[in-house]
């Protein structure tokens, strides 16, 4: 018997509709105590996948018009009986309906508890459960596609196919070891090796795509740097399409680091528009500059802006120096003005140089292309299976290491017994990745990062 839980499943801002989700053995019974169908029927009689229009009843009085949806176990998101009440989405109405549901016997759902129950009831594996969280938080087009793809089981299928191969090899070896007198076909060492190598390569391909995937799905911390008045704020505005940072003639007006996220192509750039990078005696300004240098140090991508209407100055050279060893694009701005800049130093120092006019928006496409190429995401395929987080990566790294050990052991002529221990270790990592054999601690850790209502 599962405890019946309830939570608000829609956001925490007012909207047209707010949904209260109830899941567990008494879900429909509890919903029927706060919802009366317009035809006076009882919700408890309703079959799965049916809806009723009616009223929310709080303290014996009609409180709102609502729609109740009923799902019957196991055909629901959680695999349990589920009722969903859609009320008008004012925050107070949604909250009051939830309170009524709780008063009538449901317990408040914990963070991610609906999805956790879906996992425990075999509706989703762990990679799919994680993709629910990714899908909800996705900010970019590619990220959305990739997480939906994972929800559809792209990664699970890939991992399970490698796992099946490993388990086949392991079973065969175990049989060969345990029943030497039986009619078990001879194990060819070459075949074993080639199967293991194939498994290893598939895991390697997933690991190789990890950084790229993270860049595309999570976005990159980006610093816009340049001496005062080169057009950093203007570039930021060109990217955001809003007047988020102040554009002005007076040097040093961008005193602090302004944060914002923009999409450039399929990638999300987490921008910090930084105060001019230069020496300063003004204390407030100096704090801004210090922050700017910090932003530069921790940035995964730097957009270094130069003014094409002025010769290179000491500040520019300083910035060029700071950008060494960084993933950086030189952005030569103000191309609408007469050119006075000798670009040789810049071109030598940066892998990519683009020309823009932040004033009239020229060069946007070139910047987009340069960033995408520089980050190596130009060829990103969001439909390919992809590792979504450090947990999944860690499991794959361990599996990869164990398969390598097994291959080495085979080459050294170690016994099948010993080799099989390593293959089993690799299989265990993959079982843990998809959750078929994950510890309670791993499972709890995953769901504690979800929001309530998911
Ligand atoms: P920041 O100090 O680097 O943030 O520079 P701003 O974005 O505040 O720009 C400084 C000045 O340069 C402002 O007067 C802008 O209007 C001007 N500016 C910025 N970009 C361009 C451009 O592409 N062409 C021209 N002609 N002026 C620009």
Residue-wise pLDDT for 311-349, tens only, equals 999 889 989 998 988 999 999 999 999 999 998 999 999
Question: pLDDT over 70 for what percent of the chain?
Answer: 89
Distance from Cα 357 to the centre of ligand 1, integer Å: 9
Q: Which atom of ligand 1 is nearest to the CA of 333?
A: 23
Cα Rg of the chain (Å, integer):
29
Q: What pLDDT, on a 0 to 100 scale, did the predictor assign at position 292?
A: 66
Taking CA 400 as the corner, what is the angle to CA 398 and CA 402, rounded to the nearest 5 degrees?
70
Q: If pLDDT is split at 50, 70 and 90, which confidence band does 164 have?
A: very high
- Whether the bond between 437 and the residue before it is cis, its omega within 30 degrees of 0, is no
Least confident of 238-247, 408-417, 430-439: 238-247
Compute the average pLDDT of residues 46-60. 97
The C-alpha atoms of residue 24 and residue 104 are separated, in whole angstroms, by 14
With a 6 Å cutoff on the Cβ, whether 243 touches ligand 1 is: no
359-368, Cβ contacts within 8 angstroms, sequence gap of 24 or more = 359/231, 359/234, 359/334, 360/336, 361/238, 362/335, 362/336, 363/335, 364/238, 367/264, 367/303, 367/329, 367/331, 368/264, 368/265
With a 6 Å cutoff on the Cβ, whether 116 touches ligand 1 is: no
pTM: 0.78
Q: Are 57 and 35 in contact (CB under 8 A)?
A: yes
Nearest residue CA, atom 18 of ligand 1? 231
pLDDT at 185 over 70: no
Q: Are 203 and 399 in contact (CB under 8 A)?
A: yes
Q: Are 261 and 268 in contact (CB under 8 A)?
A: yes
Reported in sequence order, the residue ranges of 111-188 that DSSP labels E, i.e. its strands, are none
Question: pLDDT over 90 for what percent of the chain?
Answer: 61
Q: What pLDDT, on a 0 to 100 scale, did the predictor assign at position 250?
A: 45
Edge-to-edge strand list for the sheet holding 50-58: 35-37, 50-58, 61-71, 82-88, 17-23, 5-8, 107-108
Compute the average pLDDT of residues 65-73. 98
**Which residues are 21's β-sheet partners?**
7, 84
Q: What pLDDT, on a 0 to 100 scale, did the predictor assign at position 259?
A: 59
With a 6 Å cutoff on the Cβ, whether 249 touches ligand 1 is: yes
- Tally the residues of the chain: 454
Over residues 368-383, the pLDDT tens digits come to 999 989 988 777 788 8
Nearest residue CA, atom 19 of ligand 1? 231
pLDDT at 14 over 50: yes
β-strand pairing of 50-58 with 35-37: antiparallel
pLDDT at 246 over 70: no
| Chain-centroid distance, C-alpha 382 | 12
Nearest residue CA, atom 2 of ligand 1? 229
Question: Count of CB atoms within 10 A of residue 204's CB?
Answer: 14
Q: Are 98 and 6 in contact (CB under 8 A)?
A: yes
Least confident of 34-48, 240-254, 260-274: 240-254
Reported in sequence order, the residue ranges of 133-289 that DSSP labels E, i.e. its strands, are 220-225, 258-264, 267-273
- Residue 254 falls in which region: left (phi positive, over 0), alpha (psi -120 to 50) or beta: beta
Q: What pLDDT, on a 0 to 100 scale, did the predictor assign at position 280?
A: 52
Q: Which residues fall within 8 angstroms of residue 102, CB to CB, at 6 or more apart?
A: 6, 108
Nearest residue CA, atom 17 of ligand 1? 231
pLDDT at 24 over 90: yes
Q: How far is CA 181 from CA 174, 176, 188, 442, in A?
A: 13, 9, 17, 42
Q: What pLDDT, on a 0 to 100 scale, did the predictor assign at position 282?
A: 58
Least confident of 55-64, 256-265, 410-419: 256-265
Q: Which residues fall within 8 angstroms of residue 299, CB to CB, at 6 or more apart?
A: 220, 221, 222, 223, 272, 326
Over residues 198-228, the pLDDT tens digits come to 999 999 999 999 988 888 888 888 998 888 8
Q: Which atom of ligand 1 is nearest to the CA of 337?
A: 26
Compute the average pLDDT of residues 351-362. 94
With a 6 Å cutoff on the Cβ, whether 359 touches ligand 1 is: yes
Q: What pLDDT, on a 0 to 100 scale, did the predictor assign at position 289?
A: 63
Q: What pLDDT, on a 0 to 100 scale, did the predictor assign at position 60?
A: 94
β-strand pairing of 328-333 with 352-355: parallel
Q: If pLDDT is split at 50, 70 and 90, which confidence band does 244 have?
A: very low
Compute the average pLDDT of residues 162-174. 92
The C-alpha atoms of residue 58 and residue 68 are separated, in whole angstroms, by 15
- Sign (positive or negative) of CA dihedral 262, 268, 274, 276: negative
**Which residues are 305's β-sheet partners?**
331
pLDDT at 254 over 60: no
Over residues 93-141, the pLDDT tens digits come to 999 999 999 999 999 999 999 999 999 999 999 999 999 988 888 877 7
Compute the average pLDDT of residues 250-256. 47
Q: How far is CA 96 from CA 19, 46, 100, 453, in A?
A: 12, 24, 6, 16
Q: What pLDDT, on a 0 to 100 scale, did the predictor assign at position 256?
A: 46
Q: What pLDDT, on a 0 to 100 scale, did the predictor assign at position 245?
A: 46
Q: If pLDDT is split at 50, 70 and 90, which confidence band does 391 have?
A: very high
């Amino acid at each position: 018997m599962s405890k019946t839980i309830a939570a608000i499943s829609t956001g925490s801002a007012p909207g047209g509709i707010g949904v209260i989700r109830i899941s567990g053995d008494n879900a429909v019974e509890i919903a029927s105590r706060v919802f009366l169908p317009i035809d006076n029927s009882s919700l408890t009689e309703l079959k799965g996948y049916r809806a009723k229009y009616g009223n929310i009843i709080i303290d014996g009085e009609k409180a709102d018009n609502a729609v109740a949806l009923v799902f019957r176990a196991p055909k629901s998101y959680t695999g349990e009986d589920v009722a969903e009440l859609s009320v008008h989405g004012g925050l107070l109405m949604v909250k009051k309906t939830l309170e009524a549901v709780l008063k009538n016997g449901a317990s408040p759902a914990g963070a991610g508890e609906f999805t956790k129950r879906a996992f425990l009831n075999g509706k989703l594996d762990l990679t799919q459960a994680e993709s629910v969280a990714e899908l909800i938080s996705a900010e970019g087009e590619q990220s959305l596609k990739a997480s939906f793809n994972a929800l559809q089981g792209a990664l699970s299928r890939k991992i399970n196919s490698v796992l099946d191969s490993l388990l086949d090899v392991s079973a065969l070896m175990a049989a060969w070891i345990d029943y030497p007198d039986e009619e078990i076909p001879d194990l060819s060492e070459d075949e074993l090796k080639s199967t293991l190598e194939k498994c290893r390569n598939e895991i390697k391909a997933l690991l190789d795509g990890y950084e790229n995937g993270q860049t595309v799905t999570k976005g990159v911390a980006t610093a816009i740097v340049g001496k005062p008045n080169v057009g950093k704020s203007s570039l930021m505005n060109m990217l955001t399409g809003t007047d988020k940072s102040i554009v002005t003639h007076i040097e040093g007006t961008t005193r602090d680091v302004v944060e914002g996220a923009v999409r450039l192509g399929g990638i999300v750039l987490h921008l910090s528009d930084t105060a001019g990078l230069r020496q300063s005696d003004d204390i407030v300004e100096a704090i801004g500059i210090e922050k700017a240098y910090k932003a530069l140090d921790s940035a995964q991508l730097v957009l270094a802006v130069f003014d094409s209407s002025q010769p290179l100055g000491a500040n520019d050279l300083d910035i060029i120096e700071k950008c060494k060893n960084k993933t950086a694009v030189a952005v030569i701005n103000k191309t609408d003005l007469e050119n006075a800049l000798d670009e040789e130093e810049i071109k030598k120092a940066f892998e990519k140089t683009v020309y823009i006019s932040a004033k009239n928006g020229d060069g946007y496409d070139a910047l987009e292309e340069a960033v995408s190429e520089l980050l190596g995401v130009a060829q990103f395929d969001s439909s390919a299976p992809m590792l979504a987080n450090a947990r999944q990566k860690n499991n794959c790294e361990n599996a990869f290491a164990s398969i390598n050990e097994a291959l080495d052991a085979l080459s050294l002529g170690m016994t099948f017994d010993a080799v099989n221990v390593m293959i089993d270790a690799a299989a265990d990592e993959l079982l843990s990745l998809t959750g078929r054999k994950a510890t309670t601690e791993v499972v709890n850790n995953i769901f504690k990062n979800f929001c309530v209502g998911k």
